[in-house]
Amino acid sequence: MQHDNGVRWNGISLVAGGAGFLGSHLVERLLSERRRVVCVDSFLSGTGDNIARFASHPGFRLVRQDIQRPLPLDGEAIDEIYNLACAASPPRYQADPHHTMMTSVIGTSNLLELASARGARFLQASTSEIYGDPEVHPQTEDYVGSVNCTGPRACYDEGKRAAETICFDFLRVGRADARIARIFNTYGPRMRADDGRIVSNFIVQALAGERMTVFGDGSQTRSFCYVSDLIDGLVRLMRVDPNPGCPVNLGNPGEFTVEELAAIVSRKIPTAQGIRRMPLPQDDPRRRQPDIARARTLLGWEPKVALDEGLAQTIAWFSQQRAGRKLEAAE
């Protein structure tokens, strides 16, 4: 327990990627637990808007930096490091593929060195993408994956796979207490409107009275987890004792085709205009559904928010953002 300015803090968490979609929700959760938070972000895909609400919080500190450079953090008693720093939507991570790969490899390595020096626990935000286009369905953590290492998604998939390797190398020799969450598609408020992922694209398009862009024939599937569920899973994995010593899938097992999602969004947004077909991107995984037996057993975790409810919250948030922008334009 640390004291300053009369506040009793329950420790210090570093959140790399703290200005991003998931990162900013995690920062909020940690501050609510009276932990101090050092938010590290390069603002490549994170935004000032996501963290503006914390700017005057006494427990919040921002370090504007790319994790590929070693962090200038002298002497702070950091006891938890969450690594959520990496562009995560296909258009964004493919915009500068070499940078994406190095964020996972060099950035994760830098943060593990810091965890090792401080004796901090380390949580790596890994991804269902490490399974590639899976031949095993639903995906269990034992499945080693099927990734095309020369394709356009490889900078993200292989980078995240290498990051897991580095985490396990540190863990095996006792250099860091590293934990790995394999995060499946997550959605909710604070996704960027221009992020390029399916949930944000469909909602933004439907609210604007445009047709929703369905890539390919729309029969590919994804499983969508609401952000509050995911954050709870991350924190549980960081805190569980002992370290599970194995990766843990975090996602909602409810599986939907892209076309089904378009139909659901259509029903929820009166201005929706149907769909428009676009070419299927190369190496787009055909199916994806997490097996969460391990998370249930080890963490006592499972998602609570159904797609219907999560989408309603997300649509309400995007509608507010849109109304705010209209108001600004009118002033």
Residue indicated by tokens 């919250």: 313
Comparing CB distances to ligand UDP, the nearer of 30 and 206 is 206
State whether residue 192 is helix, strand or coil: coil
Comparing CB distances to ligand UDP, the nearer of 207 and 214 is 214
Shortest Cβ 237–ligand UDP spacing (Å): 21
Shortest Cβ 201–ligand UDP spacing (Å): 4
Shortest Cβ 320–ligand UDP spacing (Å): 22
Comparing CB distances to ligand UDP, the nearer of 13 and 126 is 126
State whether residue 28 is helix, strand or coil: helix
* Residue 178 · residue 165 · CB < 8 Å: no
- Closest residue by beta carbon to ligand UDP: 197
* Residue 132 · residue 146 · CB < 8 Å: yes
Comparing CB distances to ligand UDP, the nearer of 81 and 130 is 130
Shortest Cβ 118–ligand UDP spacing (Å): 33
Kindly report the three-state secondary structure assignment for every residue of 65-106.
CCCCCCCCCCCCCEEEEEECCCCCCHHHHHHCHHHHHHHHHH
What length does the chain have?
331
Comparing CB distances to ligand UDP, the nearer of 83 and 220 is 220
Whether 82 is catalytic is no
Task: Give the pairing type, strands 7-9 and 2-4.
Answer: antiparallel
Shortest Cβ 264–ligand UDP spacing (Å): 13
Kindly name the residue from 82, 93, 131, 156 that is annotated as catalytic.
Answer: 156
User: Which regions of 289-328 does DSSP assign to beta strands (E)?
Assistant: none
C-alpha to C-alpha distances, 94 to 90, 191, 196, nearest whole angstrom? 6, 18, 11
DSSP state of 193: T
What does the DSSP assignment read for 196-247? --HHHHHHHHHHTTPPEEEETTS--EEE-EEHHHHHHHHHHHHH-SS---S-
Comparing CB distances to ligand UDP, the nearer of 11 and 254 is 254
For residue 146, what are its two tokens? 């099927």
Shortest Cβ 89–ligand UDP spacing (Å): 6
Which residues are near ligand UDP by CB under 6 A?
Answer: 89-90, 185, 197-198, 201, 213-215, 220, 222, 258, 281, 284
State whether residue 273 is helix, strand or coil: coil
> In sequence order, what are the beta bridge partners of 91?
none
Catalytic annotation, residues: 156
